[in-house]
A and B are shown apart, each in its own frame.
Chain A
Amino acid sequence: MKTRYLKTSAASLGIILGLAATGTAWAQDSVDLRMTIWSANEAHLAMFNEIADGFKQTHPNVTVSFDSIPFDSYTTTLTTQIAGGNPPDLAWILETSAADFVNSGALAPLNETFSAIEGYDLWDLSIPASELWTRDGQLYAYPFSTSPFAMFANNDLIAAAGAKTPAELIEAGEWNWDNAFATAKAVADAGEADGLVVRDFNFQTWQNLASIWRGWGADPWSADGKSCTLADQPMIDAMTAIHNAIFVDGGMPGPGETVDFFAGDAAMTITQISRASLLPKEDPFDWDLVPLPAGPAGEYYVIGQAGVGVFERSANKDVAVEFLAYMTNPENSQKLAQFFPPARESLLNAETLSTTNPLLSAEQIQTVVVDGISRGVVLPGHTNFAQIQQTIRSGLDALWVPEADVAAVLGNVCSSVSPLLAR
């Protein structure tokens, strides 16, 4: 009896030691994954945590935490973490810095893991939506959000000012920038609220003005990114229209003023539909979501994109790629679609999107989301974007004064940024 007991103990000890020696995960090591995001929105975080809990069902040893970093300093904070030897395992990446991240080799390739997973269906990804995140046919970040810019309107404020709402203008076939600026001016003149806010622009994030200047067919640089087109006629015309709206009409808030549409302080705002989560739940106003007005160059769509990548230097790279695959599989993509429009073609239809976006009507989903994603131009991005962004921002400061000479300022901006673009 005693010997048998000893023998079994020895045998089990042997097995345990053997397992430990070979490193087999008989009781798997716990893995903590950290993912940096720029949203601190509770609804967004709840959804991410739900997805992370789902992953834990099949990977009980993996815990994913989401690290919210403020949008303004997001990329700076992220690169500082990397420089300090403490990179996250996964990170959201902005479209503007996509080129820097994808080309640097900082991100792990995804194709092999993704295409090996049954039911993942990598080829469902829209090719135009993945272009920014692909190098030599290899996907380096998943375009988890392809979000069109659109116009939110506060119909209560517009009606009180006696102006035409965007919906009325659309019906009359007159939804263009002249009339949009006129509505903004009417509300501002009424004195209760501001007219039109380009959200997150703040006279610094000038690339967000693409949501207006694309209506003039304007671009900051040529398609190959080598030459500056800020001083070309379409851009001069578009910037003149914006300058007038701010300093002549008073329909857009000036530099240094903080105005929040979602707090009911402005008649209209241009932003991405993921911001719908900010609409007030208590004491709501009569809001609408419409496509951007037509410009002199006709109808146009602008999209912002965000990708999620895994860092090549992450200690848990393989698990992180697996989590990313789980997070973006068809089922979870549908969940994400509630806030972040998917790049999966199978989900890009009004039917699927309306079940996940209860706030939006079928018409809004078709005209704003589906049309936007299939026809939209992505916000401008460039290799070495931070330096180019800063150089243009500092040059454009001269534009944001009442007496500015638009063409002269844009000419100066081009001469200071051209050497950086040509590099």
Chain B
Amino acid sequence: MSQSSQAPHKPPFWTMTRRDAAAGYVFIAPQLVGIITFVLVPLGLVFWYSLHEWNVLASSFNFVGAANYQMLLNDPNLPAVLLASAIFSAGLVVFNMALALLLAVLLDQKLKGMVVFRTLFFSPVVVSLVAWTIVWSFLLQANGGINGLLSIIGIEGPNWLRTPTTAMISVVVVQVFKNVGLNMVLFLAALQGVPKELYEAARVDGAGRFKQFRRITLPMISPTILLTSIITIVGSLQVFAQIAVLTQGGPGMTTTVLVYYLYQQAFQFHFFGYGSTLSILLFLIVAALTFAQWQLRKRIVFYEN
């Protein structure tokens, strides 16, 4: 800056800063175009649709103002749907994170053949979601594979997908087994980043295995815990294929989570306007949860520097 003010002639347009900025914009341009086309524009359109009553068959599209939002507040099904979403998300996050951390700690040992186990636990992540779910739907049938195995040891298994409690548990477990490998790998990387000398120092001070885990490991990997919990919660609110394949929202409405309810309203009942209103609600919930977690990080996440 001081250089340019000293120079008597007009400064060149392409200063270093401007050149860097232009290069930066060029680099992010493809991503930016993608986000505008596939995220921001649809988001704007969904908000626009939510102010309309859109009958696909009659091809009518009428402005109704806040009527769909009024309907949202009075929807008798909404409490059950939000409850199902909350149970699903809570169950998924707790089970997924706990299992992922447990697997990561177990697989963080220097033993022969550990790579094989790591690959094994990660492999469901790369399997097609629908194929994975369809196979599970066969296993979970009343006369399916799981009850067949249980009958060998003399247990009469429940009708997993047709009983309210087991249906929700089944959907959660199928989803956890599908994706636990991803969180596991993230945890594994974090665990391996914890400096070994911290453990040595703790041992010298007389800390046991559990105390080491609680006082050293957990704080050191807390940024990863925050990241995985955000990814998992946001992912859990978007669950659709598993519900559509396994339970279609039943029995009753016990597994009708928000996205599935949105799909029913828009694509099965043809209420596209109200469906758009529900997706605005989903957007606000995801935004609020992410914001809350981001705020929490200041209080519970430990950063070395």
Taking CB atoms, residues of chain A closer than 8 Å to B267 are 76, 79-80
Cβ contact within 8 Å between A76 and B59: no
Find B269's partner among A83, A257, A313, A386 (CB 8 Å cutoff): A386
Cβ contact within 8 Å between A255 and B57: no
Give the contacts of A189-248 with B (CB-CB under 8 A): 203-204
Give the contacts of B256-293 with A (CB-CB under 8 A): 256, 264, 267-270, 272
Determine whether A24 belongs to the interface, using a CB cutoff of 8 Å to chain B. Answer: no
CB of A394 to closest CB in B, whole Å: 5
Taking CB atoms, residues of chain A closer than 8 Å to B270 are 79, 83, 100, 386
In the complex the two chains form, what is the Cα distance from A202 to B56 in whole Å? 29
Known pairs A395-B252, A397-B252; A255 contacts B162 (CB<8 A)? yes
Known pairs A76-B268, A79-B56, A390-B269; A257 contacts B250 (CB<8 A)? no
Give the contacts of A274-301 with B (CB-CB under 8 A): none
In the complex the two chains form, what is the Cα distance from A267 to B14 in whole Å? 84
Cβ contact within 8 Å between A104 and B252: no
- For chain A, give the interface size range: 20 to 34
CB-based nearest A residue for B147: A256
Taking CB atoms, residues of chain B closer than 8 Å to A384 are 269
In the complex the two chains form, what is the Cα distance from A400 to B163 in whole Å? 10
Taking CB atoms, residues of chain A closer than 8 Å to B57 are 79, 82, 100-101, 104-106
Query: How many inter-chain contacts with C-beta < 8 Å in the A-B complex?
Result: 70
CB-based nearest B residue for A402: B159
Give the contacts of B54-88 with A (CB-CB under 8 A): 55-59
Find A257's partner among B59, B142, B264 (CB 8 Å cutoff): B142
In the complex the two chains form, what is the Cα distance from A55 to B260 in whole Å? 43
0/1 string, A110-151, CB within 8 A of B gives 1: 000000000000000000000000000000000000000000
Taking CB atoms, residues of chain B closer than 8 Å to A390 are 264, 268-269
CB of B215 to closest CB in A, whole Å: 48
Find B268's partner among A313, A386, A397, A400 (CB 8 Å cutoff): A386
- For chain B, give the interface size range: 20 to 34
Interface of B is mostly: loop
CB of B255 to closest CB in A, whole Å: 10
Taking CB atoms, residues of chain B closer than 8 Å to A395 are 252
Determine whether A258 belongs to the interface, using a CB cutoff of 8 Å to chain B. Answer: yes
Cβ contact within 8 Å between B143 and A257: yes
CB-based nearest B residue for A397: B251
Known pairs A76-B267, A79-B270, A394-B250; A105 contacts B58 (CB<8 A)? yes
Determine whether B249 belongs to the interface, using a CB cutoff of 8 Å to chain A. Answer: yes
CB of A81 to closest CB in B, whole Å: 10
Determine whether B222 belongs to the interface, using a CB cutoff of 8 Å to chain A. Answer: no
CB of B254 to closest CB in A, whole Å: 9
CB-based nearest A residue for B143: A257
Give the contacts of B232-249 with A (CB-CB under 8 A): 248-249
Cβ contact within 8 Å between A256 and B250: no
CB of A69 to closest CB in B, whole Å: 13
In the complex the two chains form, what is the Cα distance from A257 to B248 in whole Å? 16
Taking CB atoms, residues of chain A closer than 8 Å to B144 are 256
Q: 17 extra interchain contacts, Cβ-Cβ under 8 A, other than A256-B143, A390-B268? A: A79-B56, A79-B270, A104-B57, A106-B57, A106-B58, A204-B248, A255-B159, A255-B162, A256-B159, A257-B141, A257-B142, A394-B251, A395-B252, A398-B252, A400-B162, A400-B251, A401-B162
Question: What are 25 of the A-B contact pairs (CB < 8 Å)?
Answer: A82-B56, A83-B270, A100-B57, A101-B57, A104-B57, A105-B57, A203-B162, A254-B142, A256-B142, A256-B159, A257-B141, A257-B142, A258-B141, A313-B59, A384-B269, A390-B264, A393-B250, A394-B252, A394-B256, A397-B250, A397-B252, A398-B251, A400-B251, A401-B162, A401-B163
Which residues of B are at the interface with A, using a C-beta cutoff of 8 A? 55-59, 141-144, 159-163, 248-253, 256, 264, 267-270, 272
Which residues of A are at the interface with B, using a C-beta cutoff of 8 A? 76, 79-80, 82-83, 100-101, 104-106, 203-204, 254-258, 313, 384, 386-387, 390, 393-395, 397-398, 400-401
